[in-house]
Amino acid sequence: MGRDGRVAINMRLSVLAGFLEQGRHLNVYEWATAEAARTGAKREGVLRAKLGRFYERLMAFEAGFERGEEFRYGALNMEGCGVCHYGEFCTVYRSDFPAASEVAYLRGDSLRKYVSADAKVDDVAVRRDAAPHGRRQCLATMKHSADVVSTEQSRWPDLLCSNSDHAPDFVEAVFVGEATCAGLQAARVPQGEHDRYFADLFEESRGALSAARGSLLDTFIRVKEHLDALGVPLEVIADA
């Protein structure tokens, strides 16, 4: 499943729970708009408070595009658990999402590769590297041309989406269009994370689970029940 290269977004447990409960994924602008409406604060102030010193860099990248505020970011995924630094659950979307005309792929994390520390965007590099949906495999192959031949095919998903320390490496999918639960094909979780919830449940049976771990366990239970209700499998992926 997903060998042909799907868009995936990693989410932490509570983010996934919120996504499944509300049915849609909010980008930072949508979140700020909702937060501003809720609190009566100005949206820009909400954004500045949330993004802190990263505000200028994010604004710089998205301001350079039409519909930049609608952007969502994912990673090209052909199996595996995605970019775990951002969340242990990897939500994988069906092949028809996002629509081919509404997604572009970049060689890596756009904020790292194309935006300098002083918030200057390297437009030339963005134009050079961007690939449309139909060419995503070419982009991935060119990016990994030096390693792919010497890497066993079974390890290609890890090559495409590497969780090495310091900076995970992936082909970034930048897309517009609402990410909803209806587009979900599967959610994946590393074996170790999955097993930990069952180890916690065992501890809970003898009253030895901390309040914090109990809260996480409750959220995991809700997530699993929502996924079941949607008919979306939670795939447990063996740890690398």
Binding site for another protein (CB under 8 A): 10-15, 27-28, 31, 49-54, 57-58, 72-73, 85-87, 109, 111-112, 165-168, 195-198, 201-202, 204-207, 210-222, 224-225, 236
Rounded CA separation 165/114 (Å): 20
**Nearest residue to 10 via CA among 57, 61, 72, 65:** 72
Rounded to whole angstroms, the Cα distance separating 134 from 168 reads 24
Torsion of CA 86, 101, 93, 96, to 10 degrees: 180
Which H or E run contains 189?
strand 184-190
By C-beta, is 23 or 54 nearer to another protein?
A: 54
Instruction: Compute the least distance from the CB of residue 238 to another protein, in Å.
Output: 12
Q: How far is the CB of 132 from another protein (least distance, A)?
A: 22
- Shortest spacing between CB 153 and another protein, in angstroms: 27
- Closest distance to another protein from the beta carbon of 10 (Å): 7
DSSP 79: S
**Region of residue 153 (phi > 0: left; psi between -120 and 50: alpha; otherwise: beta):** alpha
The residue with tokens 């659950």 is: 89
* Residue 102 or 204 having the CB closest to another protein: 204
Give whichever of 138 and 229 is closer to another protein, judged by the CB atom.
Answer: 229
| Min separation Cβ 94 and another protein, Å | 21
Residue 93 or 197 with smaller CB distance to another protein = 197
161: tokens are 């989406």
Q: Which C-beta is closer to another protein: that of 1 or that of 208?
A: 208
Place of tokens 């909702």: 34
